[in-house]
Amino acid sequence: MSHILEVKGLTKRFGGLTAVNDVSFGVNEREILSVIGPNGAGKSTLFKLISSFLKPSAGEVTFRGERISNLAPHIAARKGVVRTFQETTIFRNMSVRDNVIVAHQLRARASLLGFFAGSAEARRDEVRFAESADEILSFLGLDAIRSELARNLPHGHLRALGIAIGLATTPTLLLLDEPFAGMNHDETMKAVAMVRKLRERGLTVLLVEHDMSAVMKISDRIVVLNFGEKIAEGTPAEIQNNQRVIEAYLGVEDEAIGL
Amino acid sequence: MTKKLIGLVVFLLAVFIAVPMLIAATGRTDLYYVFTSVALLSIASAGVWLTFFIGRINIGQGAYALMGGYVSAILIMYYGWSFWWTLPVAGIFCAAASILIGFPILRLRGVYFAMVTLILTEVMRLLALALPITNGAKGITSIPPPGPISLFGMTLVPDFATLQNPRIAFYYLSVMLMIACFAVLYRLVHSRIGHICMSLQQNEELASSIGVNIAALRVMAYAISSFFGGLSGAVFIGATQSIYPSSFTVTDSVNFMLNCFLGGLGYVFGPMLGTLVLYLGWNLLFSTGEFQLLIYSTAMIVLMLVLPNGLLSLGSFKRRG
Amino acid sequence: MPGPSITFTWWIRRLMEQVIANGLYLGAQYALIALGLTLIFGLMNVLNFAHGQMYVLGGFITYTVYGQLGLPFAVAVICSGITLAVIGGFMERYLFRTVIRRSHREESTMMLAAATAFFFDAVMLLVFGEKQRGVPKIVKGVFNDFGVILPYDRILVGLIAAILILGFIAFMKYTKTGRAMRALAQDRVAAQLMGVEVDRYTMIGFALGAMLAGLVGGLLVSITGVNSGIGGPISIKAFMMIMIGGAGVVSGAIAGGFILGMMESVGLTVLREYGDVTYLVIFAALMMFLSIRPNGLMGKPWG
Ligand SMILES: Nc1ncnc2c1ncn2[C@@H]1O[C@H](COP(=O)(O)OP(=O)(O)OP(=O)(O)O)[C@@H](O)[C@H]1O
Ligand SMILES: [Mg+2]
């Protein structure tokens, strides 16, 4: 079958450092694919390349057969490839609901002039956005805090809000960078269930995560990066028994204990 | 809603009836010039405020005010245009120039953008000194007052030269333009465009990830801002009938920015209030002679210490407390 | 008899040497001014509009102590430095700290900085008047060799400036205070977690930045004199230098200072007839440079 997203020979160099080195893989429609690897392996950089926040040094990304590398990020978003951020990135000085409403920009039918003049189309847009925002908020269990100022939210909610903002753009492919970071076990389990529900909504999900138990539970397939290179790809069971992966992670532990 | 309406009516009554009555009663017609200046400067400040709104500190509005003034003066003096036509043209000229300048420099953020715009003001002054058409340091003087506007043979606006007191006419003109500009600004900020601008102010990366064309939006906001600057500069030279390279300098650019701060960056009418307070304050202190700048700057420092979020934040304190 | 072409290259070389000597002299002053500004910026993210005014105040203090009271020049310059350091410390403690704490937007410090710049201008205008003030030469005579003509006092001041720059770098590198400030500039939160007393070192940093401005002002009054109106233009020049090099970076400030010094020296020689056009060209070049390299030569991203 053909892939919805195809990454071919993707390479990104920062000066002398090759953060992503000749990485290729494909993603199937409605799949949950995790990218794992030690700190600094190039996972976030890979996501930035896919979502066009960075321009690759070599290689390309095709989405539904169309080349999307080298576009501006807002164009990639328009085509349905949307990323959330590793850091909790939200609009701090807006309410939770306004955060999600403003993120509906891609669905606007009215022009900017229409919004300025308050045309009928623009008013219809506003109503649709509000309804959709409320729907997303209740889907993610955020309705109780919808009128809180975003900057006052606790960490777990911020992550969820980041995902809500992503969802508002109606993506086809959602890239989640460490969505479970800083969550306790219960919160993680809830979030895992939520990501599964995203797939039921028809989304394809690409995920970077350090929480291995969550990754093993949730992923259809896993891609492993180490020092920018892909060292393995396969189902969770295959990855758990892959010698190179074990070495890569052990290597990190050795460093951590000072060997 | 009704509260806003009452506010608007009170404001209109104040500027169109109370101020002229007050001036007539005291006989101090020179105050018309003061209020005209406040109106025009607050238009320019409104532009600066809009760039603040997308998260850019703009200390370059003096450049566009100067540019607008020269465009208007040159069109009137060398090409025989009517003053009225030069107003929109000056605004559009500045907006167009700001699009060219803005594309590269709007990529800068924070103090970098602030400093580049500050330097832009200086560039414009030096250009005005160097270009032949701007007539160097001597500037362009004896610009005739605005002529009449008639539509289908009906005179809508009389020839300013025939007026007994053209100051009053300039006052009304400036105030009406100010109201129009702030109406546009208000609508912009309170429509969805405003929300998108706010998203830009808070996080440009995230804004572009939700599909906002941040480069285009920034340039658009900057162009509107510069339109305001050019417009106010053009009307200004109508009122003063002259323009020099020193008509708008770095000090003016800084003042436009200060007007916004003082009024409050979170409030659309902040720049208007800020301009009124700073300009009136400065003029009231005129009688203190050599101590004028000292008292003025001390007052500003104290204000910043007491109300670091602007004058209009007083209201929100009360509401919260 | 040398042919005309030889005379021409000889003339060009002499001119070049002269231009470079002037550029180095200017650059050393400028770098010192930029260092103070960039230090304050790096530590607190405050663009100190009053930096030029601090320089001018330093000049007036040396003018008073050396020129009026007749005390030794070195004493006068040290007085300038100390006074400005104290003023800087007070400004941080009682003005900037308060506003940074209470304001919703960090740009508010800009308004405060601008207001203090006005305040300094006003005070200096009242106390020292608007006349251009100069002091007796600190050393007489002119160096004239290797095709370079440079008064000895300029050489001396340039050397002192260079020594101060080196001293500053050493201070930032090898003292505990300097290291603490560098940690602060790098990452405020991390520094705090590591136990750096943020408030204390911010205040020291502000004082140090102000002191540098005062020292240069004091040094330069012996050459260019001083008047109460040049604070604003000096600030603008200082802004340019730190933009060229990259704001908040010590090496950037030094590079920016020397580059601007060179550009001025070259520009004023080549474009002499056109007067202010030199600055027009420099400004335009700078704007173009920045649109290509938004963080200057060595700035951190979005510093
Ligand atoms: N803009 C940049 N400029 C220079 N180097 C960069 C840049 N972004 C990332 N790097 C470097 O590229 C490498 C990969 O970084 P990346 O953020 O992709 O790692 P990661 O796998 O996401 O790590 P983590 O698990 O810590 O999030 C790192 O060594 C990092 O320092
Ligand atoms: Mg990462």
Would you call C171 exposed, middle or buried from its count of C-beta atoms within 10 A (0-12, 13-18, 19+)? middle
Going by CA atoms, what residue is nearest to atom 28 of ligand 1? A40
Residue B181: pLDDT above 70?
yes
Dihedral (CA of C13, C15, C16, C21) sign? positive
CA distances from A161 to A59, A84, A105, B97, B232 (A): 33, 10, 16, 40, 43
Q: How far is the CA of B84 from the centre of ligand 2 (A)?
A: 58
CA distances from C4 to C1, C10, C126, C149, C194 (A): 9, 10, 57, 23, 68
**Subunit contact B123:C107, Cβ cutoff 8 A:** no
**Subunit contact B130:C125, Cβ cutoff 8 A:** no
Point out the ligand 1 atom lying closest to the alpha carbon of residue A46: 18
From the CA of A53, the nearest ligand is 1
C-alpha span between B247 and B143 (Å, rounded): 14
CA A63 to chain CA mean position, Å: 15
**Higher pLDDT residue, C294 or C124?**
C124
Structurally, chain A folds into a number of domains equal to 2
Question: Chain C: residue nearest B108 by CA?
Answer: C294
A197 touches chain B (CB under 8 A): no
Range of the domain at A36: 1-80+172-259
Last residue of a domain, one of A170, A202, A237: A170
Token readout for A134 is: 């409320």
Chain A partners within 8 Å of B208 (Cβ) = 53, 72-74, 77
Is there a contact between B79 and B61 (Cβ–Cβ < 8 Å)? no
Going by CA atoms, what residue is nearest to atom 29 of ligand 1? A40
Would you call A18 exposed, middle or buried from its count of C-beta atoms within 10 A (0-12, 13-18, 19+)? middle
Which residues of B have a CB under 8 Å from any CB of A? 187-188, 191-193, 195-196, 198-199, 202-203, 205-206, 208-215, 220
Q: Which residues of B295-321 are buried (b: 16+ CB within 10 A; e: fewer)?
A: ebbbbbbebbeebbbbbbbeeeeeeee
User: What pLDDT is stored for residue A252 in this prediction?
Assistant: 53
Point out the ligand 1 atom lying closest to the alpha carbon of residue A54: 1
Nearest to C101 by CA among C182, C199, C191: C199
Nearest to C36 by CA among C161, C135, C124: C161
Q: What angle do CA A60, A62, A64 make, to 5 degrees?
A: 175
Which residues of B have a CB under 8 Å from any CB of C? 52, 57, 104-105, 107-112, 114-116, 118-120, 122-123, 126-127, 129-130, 250-251, 254, 257-258, 261-262, 265-266, 290-291, 293-294, 296-298, 300-301, 304-305, 308-309
User: What pLDDT is stored for residue C274 in this prediction?
Assistant: 67
CATH of the domain at A4: 3.40.50.300
Going by CA atoms, what residue is nearest to atom 3 of ligand 1? A14
**Subunit contact B195:A108, Cβ cutoff 8 A:** no
Instruction: Report the SS3 class of residue A149.
Output: strand
- Shared domain check, A243 and A210: yes
Chain B partners within 8 Å of C247 (Cβ) = 111-112
Residue B321: pLDDT above 50?
no
C-alpha span between A177 and A197 (Å, rounded): 18
Residue C102 pLDDT grade (very low, low, confident, very high; cuts 50, 70, 90): confident
**Higher pLDDT residue, A198 or B232?**
B232
Determine the distance in angstroms separating the CA of B117 from the nearest CA of chain A, rounded to an integer.
Answer: 26
C8 touches chain B (CB under 8 A): no
Q: State the count of interchain CB pairs (< 8 A) between B and C.
A: 135
C-alpha span between A51 and C6 (Å, rounded): 62
Name residues of chain A where pLDDT drops below 50. Answer: 254-259
**Subunit contact C115:B297, Cβ cutoff 8 A:** yes
Instruction: Report the SS3 class of residue C27.
Output: helix
Nearest to B42 by CA among B228, B248, B246, B183: B228
Nearest to C109 by CA among C118, C120, C96: C96
Q: How far is the CA of A80 from the centre of ligand 1 (A)?
A: 25
User: What pLDDT is stored for residue C6 in this prediction?
Assistant: 64
User: What pLDDT is stored for residue C186 in this prediction?
Assistant: 82
User: What pLDDT is stored for residue B90 in this prediction?
Assistant: 96
Return residues with CB closer than 5 A to ligand 2 (ion): A 44, 86
**Subunit contact B309:C283, Cβ cutoff 8 A:** no
Residues linked to residue A149 through DSSP beta bridges, in sequence order? A95
Chain A partners within 8 Å of B206 (Cβ) = 85, 89-91, 165
**Subunit contact A91:B202, Cβ cutoff 8 A:** yes
Question: Which of residues 83 through 142 in chain A touch B, CB cutoff 8 A?
Answer: 83-85, 89-94, 98, 101-103, 105-106, 108, 112, 115-116, 118, 122, 125-126
Strands A173-177 and A204-208: parallel
Q: How far is the CA of A28 from the centre of ligand 1 (A)?
A: 26
Q: Which of A13, A44, A252 to mutate to test the pocket of ligand 1 (most atoms within 8 A of CB)?
A: A44
The winner for highest mean pLDDT among A63-77, A232-246, C103-117, C285-299 is: A63-77
Amino acid sitting at position B165: N
- Shared domain check, A147 and A256: no
User: What pLDDT is stored for residue C300 in this prediction?
Assistant: 63
Q: What are the residue ranges spanned by the domains of chain C?
A: 21-229
Mean pLDDT across the stretch B169-195?
Answer: 92
**Subunit contact A53:B206, Cβ cutoff 8 A:** no
Mean pLDDT across the stretch C84-104?
Answer: 91
Residues linked to residue A66 through DSSP beta bridges, in sequence order? A63
CA distances from A253 to A43, A238, A256, A259, B211 (A): 19, 21, 5, 9, 40
**Subunit contact C287:B119, Cβ cutoff 8 A:** yes
- Shared domain check, A69 and A20: yes
C-alpha span between A108 and B192 (Å, rounded): 10
Residues composing chain B: 321
Chain C partners within 8 Å of B118 (Cβ) = 236, 239
Question: Which of residues 217 through 236 in chain C touch B, CB cutoff 8 A?
Answer: 232, 236
User: What pLDDT is stored for residue B93 in this prediction?
Assistant: 97
Going by CA atoms, what residue is nearest to atom 5 of ligand 1? A14
Nearest to C112 by CA among B44, B157, B257: B257
C-alpha span between A108 and A128 (Å, rounded): 9
Nearest to B120 by CA among C242, C241, C288: C288
Mean pLDDT across the stretch C141-166?
Answer: 83
C-alpha span between B311 and C165 (Å, rounded): 43
CA distances from A56 to A18, A79, A230, B211 (A): 11, 18, 16, 20
Q: What does the pLDDT look like over A41-51, one tens digit per residue? A: 899 999 999 99
Residue C302 pLDDT grade (very low, low, confident, very high; cuts 50, 70, 90): very low
Ligand 1 pocket by Cβ (under 6 Å): A 14, 17, 19, 37, 39-45, 86
Q: What does the pLDDT look like over C216-236, one tens digit per residue? A: 999 999 888 888 888 888 998
- Output DSSP code: residue C65: I
Token readout for B53 is: 């709104």
Residue B320 pLDDT grade (very low, low, confident, very high; cuts 50, 70, 90): very low
Going by CA atoms, what residue is nearest to atom 7 of ligand 1? A14
**Subunit contact A106:B210, Cβ cutoff 8 A:** yes
Going by CA atoms, what residue is nearest to atom 12 of ligand 1? A19
Q: How far is the CA of A40 from the centre of ligand 2 (A)?
A: 7
Determine the distance in angstroms separating the CA of A163 from the nearest CA of chain B, rounded to an integer.
Answer: 11
Residue B147 pLDDT grade (very low, low, confident, very high; cuts 50, 70, 90): confident
ipTM of the complex, rounded to two decimals: 0.84
C-alpha span between A191 and A226 (Å, rounded): 26
C-alpha span between B81 and B67 (Å, rounded): 17
Interface test with C, best of B52, B99, B100, B126 (most C CBs within 10 A): B126
- What domains appear along chain B, each with residue ranges and CATH number? 31-145+153-320 (1.10.3470)
Strands A58-63 and A5-14: antiparallel
- Shared domain check, A250 and A224: yes
- Output DSSP code: residue C92: I
Residue B64 pLDDT grade (very low, low, confident, very high; cuts 50, 70, 90): very high
Q: Packing angle between helix C152-174 and helix C176-186, nearest 10 degrees?
A: 80
Nearest to C79 by CA among C53, C60, C98: C60
Is there a contact between B149 and B157 (Cβ–Cβ < 8 Å)? yes
Nearest to C46 by CA among C158, C188, C180, C257: C188
Q: What does the pLDDT look like over B21-49, one tens digit per residue? A: 888 888 787 888 899 999 999 999 999 99
User: What pLDDT is stored for residue A211 in this prediction?
Assistant: 85
Residue B247 pLDDT grade (very low, low, confident, very high; cuts 50, 70, 90): very high
Strands A66-67 and A229-234: unpaired
- Identify the H or E element spanning A66: strand A66-67
Residue B230: pLDDT above 60?
yes
Determine the distance in angstroms separating the CA of C147 from the nearest CA of chain B, rounded to an integer.
Answer: 34
Residue C34: pLDDT above 90?
yes
Last residue of a domain, one of A170, A205, A234: A170
**Shortest CB distance from C95 goes to which of B290, B293, B305?**
B305
Is there a contact between A160 and A179 (Cβ–Cβ < 8 Å)? no
Nearest to A175 by CA among A136, A208, A199, A131: A208
Region for B140 from its dihedrals, namely left if φ exceeds 0, alpha if ψ lies in -120 to 50, beta otherwise: beta
Write out the E strands in chain A.
Answer: 5-14, 17-27, 32-36, 58-63, 66-67, 81-83, 173-177, 204-208, 221-226, 229-234
**Higher pLDDT residue, C272 or B66?**
B66
Point out the ligand 1 atom lying closest to the alpha carbon of residue A15: 4
C-alpha span between A75 and B212 (Å, rounded): 9
**Higher pLDDT residue, A69 or B50?**
B50
Determine the distance in angstroms separating the CA of C113 from the nearest CA of chain B, rounded to an integer.
Answer: 9
Residue with structure tokens 């030889």? Answer: C6
User: What pLDDT is stored for residue C2 in this prediction?
Assistant: 52
C103 touches chain B (CB under 8 A): yes
Point out the ligand 1 atom lying closest to the alpha carbon of residue A86: 27
**Higher pLDDT residue, B309 or A148?**
A148
Is there a contact between B229 and B221 (Cβ–Cβ < 8 Å)? no
**Subunit contact B196:A72, Cβ cutoff 8 A:** no
Q: How far is the CA of A45 from the centre of ligand 1 (A)?
A: 6
Mean pLDDT across the stretch C227-248?
Answer: 87
On average, the pLDDT of chain C sits at 86
User: What pLDDT is stored for residue A35 in this prediction?
Assistant: 93
Residue with structure tokens 């300039």? Answer: B170
User: What pLDDT is stored for residue B236 in this prediction?
Assistant: 92
Dihedral (CA of B200, B262, C207, C153) sign? positive
Residue B83: pLDDT above 80?
yes
Is there a contact between B217 and A151 (Cβ–Cβ < 8 Å)? no
The radius of gyration computed from the CA coordinates of chain B, to the nearest angstrom, equals 20
**Shortest CB distance from A74 goes to which of B191, B195, B212?**
B212
